[in-house]
Amino acid sequence: MRLLIPILAVICIVGVKGHEFTEKEKNQSDMEIESCAFENGIHRTQLENLMKTKSVSGTRQLDCFSACVLKKSGFMNDDGTFNENNNVQKEEIIKCRQLKGPSTCETGGKVLQCLLDNGIIP
């Protein structure tokens, strides 16, 4: 799992927040991703598959993991809405944060898939 954490940290900080990351941000993101994986019962193979296929694949676990990471990164609020104070103005990110699912988890999954589909997450 430790090998995937730096990759996912880059996704969260550069892809979603839109800037180069500091060592402090990287360490914080590592902890957030580990916490979200643990909270949602996500295993290393699932994360590897996500990075390989670029597909959230609509599982509740991955949807909730996505929402958790987006919340902890400050991109998504606890109620599933998106933080309008986020200064990221990339057209694709604006489009993705307009997506909504019937639950916070499903919204997280839809947004992560949109970020993957639009190349925001490499």
Can you give the pLDDT at residue 33?
Answer: 80
Considering the chain, what is the average pLDDT of its residues? 76
Q: Is residue 122 part of a domain?
A: no
Find out whether 17 and 75 touch, Cβ atoms under 8 Å.
yes
Q: Is residue 37 part of a domain?
A: yes
> What backbone torsions phi and psi does residue 87 show, to the nearest 5 degrees?
-80, 0
- Structural domain range at position 31: 4-117
pLDDT one-digit tens code per residue, 47-105: 778 778 888 776 899 899 989 988 888 888 888 888 776 655 567 677 888 889 999 99
Can you give the pLDDT at residue 87?
Answer: 54
Q: Read off the pTM.
A: 0.76
CATH number of the CATH domain containing 72: 1.10.238.20
Q: Is residue 98 part of a domain?
A: yes
Can you give the pLDDT at residue 10?
Answer: 45
9 DSSP 8-state letter? H
Q: What's the CA gap between 85 and 106, in Å, rounded?
A: 22
- Tally the domains of the chain: 1
89 SS3 class:
coil
